[in-house]
Amino acid sequence: MSSSATLKSLREEVCWANKMLPKAGLVTMHSGNVSGFDPVSGRVVIKPSGMDYELITPENLVEVDLESGEVMAHQLKPSVDLSHHLFLYRHDSSLSSVVHTHSNYATAFAAVHRSIPCALTAISDEFGGEIPCTPYIDNEGDHIGEGILKYRGRGPAILLGNHGVFTWGNSVAGALKAAVMVEDVAKTMYLAFQLGAPVPIAQQEVEKWWDRYHQRYGQ
Ligand SMILES: [Zn+2]
């Protein structure tokens, strides 16, 4: 595909994923954003700042040059979280999409600086171990991006202490799925903590679930 064709389809996917955030119950008002990276053109597209999700269209997503960080001409203002998204794409070339939310159950774990233990087979499948939580990180410069890289585990999600969730993937759908899954397992683990101490799955068993899911699951 030409770079304009890949950018056009990326805009459609990123628009869809942003609109899915409120539908999946992951955001209130404007508190989340999805971006995508097109390696052909070197451009990132991201949600405009403070825009209602129902008003987002493929055309009004903000286009940014990854290398220079410059917003292309005639664009709206990008999400205030743009710099964290850019940092992640610049430092991990495997990433095609990044999602940020303050989804309630996952962010509750972040509020108490508690990683989500790997006590569910669904966590083994999707995240390959516990979902880590960073300490508090301020919003200056590249601190959030650096903290995500420093504290991330094997899976495509991290809790930011006192803040929320970042997920990522090698596709827009994959990064969105991780955001949905982290909230779903956080809810189950929250309930589990009400009953008692969750029982972590043995590491060798975690490996088996992870391998099966990543090598054999699906059509
Ligand atoms: Zn945030």
Residue of 38, 81, 125, 184 marked active site: 125
pLDDT digits (tens), the chain, 219 positions: 677 889 999 999 999 999 999 999 999 988 899 999 999 999 999 999 999 999 999 999 999 999 999 999 888 999 999 999 999 999 999 999 999 999 999 999 999 999 999 999 999 999 999 999 999 999 999 999 999 999 999 999 999 999 999 999 999 999 999 999 999 999 999 999 999 999 999 999 999 999 999 887 776
Instruction: Give me the sign of the Cα torsion angle 13, 14, 20, 26.
Output: positive
Q: Quick check: 46 and 109 in contact, CB under 8 A?
A: no
What's the CA-to-centroid distance between 3 and ligand 1, angstroms? 31
What's the CA-to-centroid distance between 152 and ligand 1, angstroms? 17
What's the CA-to-centroid distance between 80 and ligand 1, angstroms? 9
- Sheet hosting strand 157-161, strand order edge to edge: 62-65, 43-46, 32-38, 97-101, 164-169, 157-161, 133-136
The set of residues, in sequence order, having a beta carbon less than 8 Å from that of 34 and lying 6+ positions away, is 14, 17, 18, 21, 46, 47, 97, 98, 99, 100, 172, 175, 176
Place of tokens 């890949």: 6
CATH number, domain with residue 32? 3.40.225.10
Structure tokens of 161? 């202490």
Residue 97 is given by DSSP the state E
CA dist 37 and 11 (Å) reads 10
Q: How many CA atoms lie within 13 A of 205 on its CB side?
A: 10
Structure tokens of 213? 């899911």
Q: Looking at the chain, which runs of residues are DSSP E strands? A: 32-38, 43-46, 62-65, 97-101, 133-136, 157-161, 164-169
Looking at residue 219, what is its pLDDT?
67
107 residue type, one letter: T
Three-state secondary-structure class, residue 116: strand
Is 184 in the active site? no
What's the CA-to-centroid distance between 210 and ligand 1, angstroms? 29
Is 89 in the active site? no
What's the CA-to-centroid distance between 111 and ligand 1, angstroms? 13
What's the CA-to-centroid distance between 6 and ligand 1, angstroms? 28
The length of the chain in residues reads 219
Looking at residue 191, what is its pLDDT?
98
Three-state secondary-structure class, residue 165: strand
Looking at residue 30, what is its pLDDT?
83
Number of domains in the chain: 1
Which structural domain range is residue 101 located in? 3-215
Structure tokens of 130? 């516990």
